[in-house]
Amino acid sequence: MELRGNWNYPTSVRFGAGRIAELPDVAKAAGISNPLFVTDPGLAKLPMTQAAAASIGGGVFSAIKPNPVEANIAAGVAAYKSGRHDGVVAFGGGSALDVGKLIAFMQAQTRPIGDFEDIGDWWTRADASGIAPVVAVPTTAGTGSEVGRAGVVTDETSHTKKIIFHPAMMPKIALCDPVLTIGMPPAITAGTGMDALAHCVEAYCAPSYHPLADGIAAEGVRLVKENLALAVKNGGDLDARAHMMAAASMGATAFQKGLGAIHALSHPVGALYDSHHGMTNAVFMPYVLAFNRKAIEDRIKRLAAYIGLRPSFRAFLDWVLVLRGEIGVPHTLAGLNVGDDKIEQIVAMAPKDPTAGGNPIALDKRAARTIFRRALEGRV
């Protein structure tokens, strides 16, 4: 491994219970006086969301699908321009945060959104001068999009998920208040929490040299181990909620190092079956770990020891399997209503996904088919 890398760390983060009260000051500090408040349709109906939006004025946009599509971004850009907004406050889970960042980004562009996919240096095609400032307020503990420089959007024509990247998409300020996650149902708590775990585990296992990311990812895994099941069982456990919100931000900070086959397979499955991203990651996780074992065993032994397990790959894998069962993750893809009817599309799409390059073992069609079939059949 070449001891060389380009390292970036996240933005200003205001973390703690009750800090949503600071939203007007935070928007002002980010240079936003007429914000477009971006959230999802479900959250838009909740009193906490309405109170947050009312506290800063501006307009509200909530026409977002759970797996956002390009039409959602276009509609948001139209709302941004018609309201003559000067920034975005993105409030919600990963979908709302990603859409908010993409609206702030795309309202300054003349090229189509696909021209900025996270491939090579495509981000340099963008006009960075007019990208609007974003304040990100997560209400789930999973994607960590509040500290990320990218957004995920589904191309409805090709049924592929595209990662759109630009360094200036990073929110100016992330306002992380774990109280906002108290109302999350157990299933969403589980799915988003497993997304955070997938980010940490894949970043830790990615083969590039990034010891800063490795340390953050390892601590993120420990926080998930000690808190996710507690948060699922007792949604009012504010300490567990806070630790999971921190773990989510840590996962997104760490995965600048890379992701891998969990995400490379989850993205096409989500695009084709509209499955929950975090839960799809959770189903694939043990099958990908087992497939990568030869390349990651020593690293996983160290990680197992750090989080308080017996220092072995098997102990770590067994913990993942037990955790999945404890919080209601299906053991196979059948639990997500995914079958083998689109297997050829998926195994063709997965190796092309931008996350595939970070897998410790090359993810070609044969490898993708092997992992997918094991996840269908339950063979770890």
| Cβ atoms within 10 Å of 294's Cβ, excluding its own | 8
Render the burial of 261-278: b for 16+ CB within 10 Å, e for the rest. Answer: bbbbbbbbbbbbbebbbb
Residue-level pLDDT at 110 = 96
Single-letter amino acid, residue 296: I
Give the position of tokens 């592929």. 160
Q: Give the rounded percent of residues in the chain with a pLDDT score beyond 70.
A: 99
pLDDT 10s digits, 118-167: 999 999 999 999 999 999 999 999 999 999 999 999 888 888 889 999 99
Residue-level pLDDT at 67 = 86
Residue 102: pLDDT over 70: yes
* pTM of this structure: 0.94
Residue-level pLDDT at 1 = 67
Domain boundaries along the sequence of the chain: 12-180, 185-377
Q: E strands within the chain?
A: 12-15, 35-38, 59-61, 87-92, 134-138, 150-155, 160-165, 173-176
pLDDT 10s digits, 232-264: 999 999 999 999 999 999 999 999 999 999 999
What CATH topology corresponds to 12-180?
Rossmann fold (3.40.50)
Residue-level pLDDT at 183 = 87
Q: What are the backbone dihedrals phi and psi of residue 157, each rounded to the nearest 5 degrees, phi first?
A: -75, -50
Q: What is the rounded distance in angstroms from the CA atom of residue 253 to the CA atom of residue 170?
A: 11
Binned at pLDDT 50, 70 and 90, residue 82 comes out as very high
Residue-level pLDDT at 263 = 98
Q: What is the rounded distance in angstroms from the CA atom of residue 27 to the CA atom of residue 24?
A: 5
Residue 186: pLDDT over 80: yes
Binned at pLDDT 50, 70 and 90, residue 9 comes out as confident
Residue 6: pLDDT over 90: no
Quote the tokens at residue 256. Answer: 């600048």
Give the 3-state secondary structure of residue 356.
Answer: helix
Binned at pLDDT 50, 70 and 90, residue 290 comes out as very high
Residue-level pLDDT at 340 = 95
Give the position of tokens 């699922």. 232
Residue 191: pLDDT over 80: yes
Helix (H) or strand (E) holding 351: none
Q: Which residue has the higher pLDDT, 333 or 120?
A: 333
Task: From 338, 363, 366, select the one nearest 282 (Cα to Cα).
Answer: 338
Binned at pLDDT 50, 70 and 90, residue 5 comes out as low
Mean pLDDT for all residues in the chain: 96
Residue-level pLDDT at 291 = 98
Single-letter amino acid, residue 375: A
- What is the sign of the dihedral through the CA atoms of 83, 89, 92 and 94? positive
Q: How many helices (H) and strands (E) does the chain have?
A: 14, 8
Least confident of 76-80, 115-119, 307-311: 115-119
Give mean pLDDT, residues 84-106: 97
Architecture per CATH, domain 185-377, reads as Up-down Bundle (1.20)
Q: What is the rounded distance in angstroms from the CA atom of residue 145 to the CA atom of residue 199?
A: 11
Residue 14: pLDDT over 80: yes
Give the 3-state secondary structure of residue 38.
Answer: strand
Give the 3-state secondary structure of residue 88.
Answer: strand
Residue-level pLDDT at 159 = 81
